[in-house]
Amino acid sequence: MNPVTSRLPITRLLRGIVIVIGLVLVSATASPAGDERVARLAQAMRMDEVFAVMAKEGEDYGRQLEEEMFPARGGARWQEAVRGIYAPDRLLAGFMPAFESALAQPNVDIDAMIDFFESDLGQRIVTLEISARRALLDPAVDDAARLKLSEMREMSDPRMMLIEEFVSANDLVEANVIGAMNASYAFYQGLAESGALPPDMDEGQILSEIWGQEDDIRAEMDDWIHSYLLMAYAPLSDEDIRRYTELSRSRAGQDLNRALFAGFDAVFVEVSRQLGRAAGAILTGQDL
C-alpha cells in the first residue's frame, strides 16, 4: 500500500478532545491511593453518562476517519479497534493519574469544587452539559447549534458576552487548540510507527504540517465550543452563568481547569497515537 501523502483530517478529532470545565472525565471511585474527595467530586458529575457520550463520539470519529483515509477498507476490524481505543475504562486509566496528581498539589481546594457541583446549580449545569453533548452527536443538531451561534453573533446578542466571559475565564479555545495539536502530532507518530508515512517525511515536515492546520483547528474549536455552550446553557439565567464564571475565575476553578487539561492531554495523546497506529496498519495492509 502507498504511504499517506495527503493532509490528514485531524480537525475531525477535535470533538473528542474539546474540554469544558464541567465535563470532568473521572470515575465514581478514585484509586486507592487517591483523595476520597476526588471520588465524591466525580460522583456529583454522573461520570457514567459522560463516558458513554465520549465513547460514542470516538466511534463516530472512527467512522469519519475511515471514510476520509481508507474508504470501505477498515470494516469490522477497524470498528473493533476504535471501540477498544475509546473504551471508557481505558480512557479512565489514561486520565486519572494526571488528573489526581494535579489536584494533589499544595493548596488545591477540592472542597470548594465539591460544594459547587453538589449544589442545585452545579447539578443542573452537569445535566445540561451532558444532555447537550449527547444531542450534538446528531449532525442535524450540530448544524442547528452552529447556525444559532452565527445568528446570535450577527445580532450581538447579550448572551454572547456572558459565554465569551466564561470561555475566556477557562481559556477554553487556546488550551483546546494546544491539546488538539499535541494529539495531532501523536497521530502522526502512530502513523510513522506503522510505516504509513513517506520514508522521507521527517519530524520537521510533520510539525510543519501540524502548524499548517492551526488556523483550521482554532476556527473549529471556537465554533464548536461557543455553539455547544450556547446550547447547553440556554436554560440558565444570566446570573447562573455569572456564578459559574466566578467559580472558573477562582483559585479552585483554575486549579480544576488545569487538572482537567492535564488529564485530557495525557489520555488523548495516547488515544491519538493508538488511532494513528491502527490507521497506519490498515493503510499498509498489516494486522491490527
List pLDDT tens digits, range 2-37. Answer: 344 444 444 444 444 454 444 443 333 444 445 788
Q: Which residues of 123-149 are buried (b: 16+ CB within 10 A; e: fewer)?
A: eebbbbbbebbbbbeeeeebeebbebb
- Give, in order, the Cα–Cα distances in Å from 59 to each of 13, 55, 66, 86, 247: 11, 6, 11, 7, 33
Q: What is the pLDDT of residue 199?
A: 86
119 DSSP assignment: S
Residue 23, phi-psi category: left (phi > 0), alpha (psi -120 to 50), beta (remainder): beta
Question: Is the alpha carbon torsion for 55, 34, 104, 128 positive or negative?
Answer: positive
In a domain, 288, yes or no: no
Query: Any residues with CB less than 8 A from the CB of 219 and at least 6 apart, and which?
Result: none
12 DSSP assignment: G
In a domain, 173, yes or no: yes
29 DSSP assignment: S
In a domain, 124, yes or no: yes
Low-confidence ranges of the chain (pLDDT < 50): 1-17, 19-33
Residue 180, φ and ψ in degrees, nearest 5: -65, -40
In a domain, 110, yes or no: yes
Q: What is the pLDDT of residue 259?
A: 84
Q: How many domains does the chain have?
A: 1
Q: What is the pLDDT of residue 30?
A: 43
CB 18 within 8 A of CB 11: no
**CA atoms of 126 and 266, how far apart (whole Å):** 23
In a domain, 2, yes or no: no
Question: Which one-letter amino acid corresponds to residue 76?
Answer: A
In a domain, 4, yes or no: no
Q: What is the pLDDT of residue 24?
A: 40
CB 128 within 8 A of CB 236: yes
Quick one: which of 268, 51, 260, 45 has its CA closest to 170? Answer: 260
In a domain, 140, yes or no: yes
In a domain, 272, yes or no: yes
User: Domain containing 225: what range?
Assistant: 10-283
Q: What is the pLDDT of residue 6?
A: 40
